[in-house]
Amino acid sequence: MSQDRTDPPVAVIFDIDGVVIDSPHERAWREALTSAADQARFTSAFYQAHVAGKPRLDGAQAILAAFAASDTPEAYAARKQMGLQRLIAAGAFSAFQDALRLLIRLRQAEVPIAAASSSKNANAMLEQITVPPYGTLRTLFTANLCGQDQRRGKPDPAIFLAAAAALEQPPGTSVVVEDAPAGIQAARAGGMAALGVARHNDAAGLWAAGANRVVSSLDDIAVAALRALPSTKEPR
């Protein structure tokens, strides 16, 4: 399907972990804690609110500070990374089917799409998921910025601004799809619209972060609605 000339231009930038891929990041962070009590306190709600979307050391610092754990961020982050690599090698991840359907609809509508995750492990997962006839999930995207070093992590908008530039689209006509408050804040700080994906009954936190719209499934958003989202001046 070709783009209708009357359609407003838009580019869509996707976070990966928690939006496109059901990744083992949360599990790896939890299992890297040395205290069973801390592991029990490390809930999905805590992960989404305080860790998801942040660079590795920032995530480690947030967890250790919250649990007053006697560990260094560097050592904790290294254990988490080793555990994560084992989980990825074991195939302990999958693509969210609603995300795949939306990505394919966007490709068919000739909407440029970018993958933008600060995780240096995202590409290893994207490359293992096939999406006929596009090849792998990694090659489905028009641009891929996963794992690239940025000057600062979310909620700084650097990675999303770089993604918009890679798609040759101004921030003002770009939409970021995110599942974490830090990512929503980054999108809005960069002058972009933000679509929140509340997969964990956490819509309130995404609205509070400034999302223009929040859905529980990406099946609930049409391509036309995504095109219109940048014109939304305030969250609704």
Q: What is the pLDDT of residue 3?
A: 44
Q: Which sequence spans correspond to the domains of the chain?
A: 11-23+93-231, 25-89
User: What are the start-end ranges of the H helices in the chain?
Assistant: 25-32, 36-41, 44-50, 56-67, 73-89, 97-108, 122-126, 137-140, 158-166, 181-189, 203-209, 223-228
**What does the pLDDT look like over 1-24, one tens digit per residue?**
444 444 777 999 999 999 999 999
**Model confidence at 167: pLDDT above 80:** yes
**What does the pLDDT look like over 74-85, one tens digit per residue?**
999 999 999 999
Name the average pLDDT for the chain: 92
* Phi and psi, residue 227, nearest 5°: -60, -35
Length of the chain in terms of residues written: 236
* Phi and psi, residue 169, nearest 5°: -130, 135
Q: What is 11-23+93-231's CATH number, 3.40.50.980, 3.40.50.1000, 1.10.3720.10, 3.40.830.10?
A: 3.40.50.1000
